Amino acid sequence: MTEHDIEITVNGTDHEMTVDSRTLLVHALRDQLGYTGPNVGCESSMCGACTIHLDGEAVKSCTVLAVQADGSDVTTVGDFADRDSLHPIQESFSEEHGLQCGYCTPGMIMTTSELLERNPDPNEEEIREALEGNLCRCTGYQNIVKAVESAAEKMRTTATAEGDD
């Protein structure tokens, strides 16, 4: 097995590590670096529980090899956690009861955050479409959709308020 030395930045912290060619990014993050935010639900790109941002784009970290992420910037759901208060997306998932067991939640939040960056005012259909790659077995998606709507609204209000300054 060939080994590679790689460098990745996770949630703002630089890491140097050695990985096998076949090591999946999600395992490198979880097993080697201890970032357990992204969860493993299928290892086959179907469930979305492992979704992270790779250089700003939402990707399923079980479909990326760690070596492919060499030199990249990774953000996990944990990055929101370092702040003093919850991010509006996190807050809305909680307020709208958009999670039950929480296993899908890190992935849902990362996908939502990318969606809202692209489209700050999505309608229900657009939300459901954007979440297509993220499975949730607990909620029937109803309150997840509501959470995304509510987060979008909060973020728009903040953006407008900031724009007013």
Partner 1 sequence: MSGDTTNGLIGDRVTRTEDAEFVTGQAEYTDDIATSNAAHAAVLRSQHAHAKVHDIDTSAAEELDGVIAVYTAEDMEEAETSAPRKIPSMSTDYIQVEPELFRPVIASDRVHYQGEPLAIALAEDRYTANDAVDRIEVDYERLESVTDPEAAIEDDAPTLFEDYPNNIAYDWEFGDKDEVDEAFEDAEYVASASVDEQRLIPDPLEPRATVADYDSSSNELSIQMSTQTPHSDRHAIAGILRHPENKIHVQVPRVGGGFGAKIHNYDVESLVPWCARELERPVRWQATRSEIHQTSSHGRGLNLEGEAAFDEDGKLLGVRVDGLADLGGYVSSHVHMLTTVLCIEVINSQYELPKLYSRIRGALTNATCLDSYRGVHEVAAITFIERLMHESAKEIGMDPAELRRRNQIPADAFPYETVTGTVYDSGNYQQALEKTLDVLEYDELRERQEELREDGRYLGIGLSAYTHVSGVGPADVCKEYGIFKTHWESGRITVHQSGTVTAYCGTMDFGMGHQTSYAQIVADKLGIPIEDVEIIEGDTRHLNDGVGTHASRSLVVGGSALAESADDVIEKGRSIVAHQLEAPEEDIEFEDGEFWVKGAPERSMTIQEVGSQAHRAWDVPGEPGLEATTYYLPEQMAITSGVHAAVVEVDPDTGEVEFERYLSVDDAGNRINPQIVEGQLHGGIAQGISQALYEDVVYDDNGNMVTSTLQDYAMPKSFHVPEVETVELSTPAPDNPLGAKGVGETGPIAGNAAVLNAVVDALEPLGFDGSEVDTPLTPEKIWKGVNDQD
Contact footprint for ligand FES (CB under 6 A): 40-43, 45-50, 60, 62, 99-104, 136-139
Residues in the chain: 165
Q: What is the distance between the alpha carbons of residues 108 and 131, in angstroms, rounded to a whole number?
A: 7
Q: Which does 50 bind (CB under 5 to 8 A by kind): partner 1, ligand FES, none?
A: ligand FES
- Nearest approach in angstroms of CB 1 to ligand FES is 22
Q: Which of 18, 55, 101, 120 binds partner 1 (CB under 8 A)?
A: 101
Please name which of 134, 125, 130 lies closest in space to residue 99, comparing C-alpha atoms.
134
The residue among 120 and 140 lying less far from partner 1, judged by its C-beta, is 140
**Contact positions with partner 1 (CB under 8 A) in 48-77:** 49, 76-77
Partner from ligand FES, partner 1, none binding residue 142, C-beta < 5-8 Å depending on class: partner 1
134 CB contacts (<8 Å, ≥6 apart)? Answer: 47, 48, 49, 51, 104, 107, 108, 111
The pair of structure tokens assigned to 68 is 């492919």
Q: What per-residue string of b and e applies to 83-98 under the rule 16 or more CB within 10 Å gives b? A: eeeebbbbebbebbeb
Interaction residues for partner 1, span 108-147 (CB under 8 A): 109, 125, 127-129, 131-132, 134-145
**Cβ distance to ligand FES smaller for residue 2 or 44:** 44
User: Which residues are registered as beta bridge partners of 18?
Assistant: 5
